[in-house]
Amino acid sequence: MSRSGVAVASDCVTTFEELKLRKSSRYIIYKLNETKTQIVVDKASTETDYEAFLTDLPENDCRWAVYDFAYKLSEGEGERNKIVFISWSPDNAPVRSKMTYSSSKDALRRAFNGVGAEIQGTDYAEVSHEALLDKVTRK
């Protein structure tokens, strides 16, 4: 339970564990249910194109996402993966939504074991492929 009183639905953790084991999705987007009492899975996708993920983030509302980010450090090196937790809070989202998502984030984040990086985005540039690559490769 979060500071805001919002609970995390059990399928949020189940879906995350499946992503972690690379059994299902490349990314998962989470949202608050209609009554703002529970965090639920909004979408789970196997799409590997990062741009498709970005189009699934709403322009005018908040979300959380977990992305199984694949990258290479240099040519000739094998592919690596890091699970990235993203807090999406666009500037033009309603203030009430921003406050509720912000105060509920920790409940969701604590439910996930194995997240390698965390990023906060208020516009698409802050959650771009380059921004995530910079975050996961930073020493």
% of the chain residues with pLDDT over 90: 78
Q: What is the pLDDT of residue 84?
A: 96
Q: Which residue has the higher pLDDT, 90 or 71?
A: 90
pLDDT (tens digit per residue) in 18-67: 999 887 799 999 999 999 999 999 999 999 899 999 999 999 999 999 99
Q: Which residue has the higher pLDDT, 76 or 17?
A: 17
Alpha-carbon dihedral 68, 120, 71, 114, rounded to 10 degrees: -40
Q: What is the pLDDT of residue 69?
A: 93
Q: Which of the four pLDDT bands, split at 50, 70 and 90, describes residue 112?
A: very high
Backbone φ and ψ of 14, nearest 5°: -60, -45
Domains of the chain, earliest start first: 7-137 (3.40.20.10)
pTM beyond cutoff 0.85: yes
% of the chain residues with pLDDT over 70: 96
Distance CA 83, CA 117 (A): 7
Residues ≥6 apart with Cβ < 8 Å to 129: 50
How would you list the strands of the sheet with 80-88, edge to edge? 7-8, 38-45, 27-32, 63-71, 80-88, 117-121
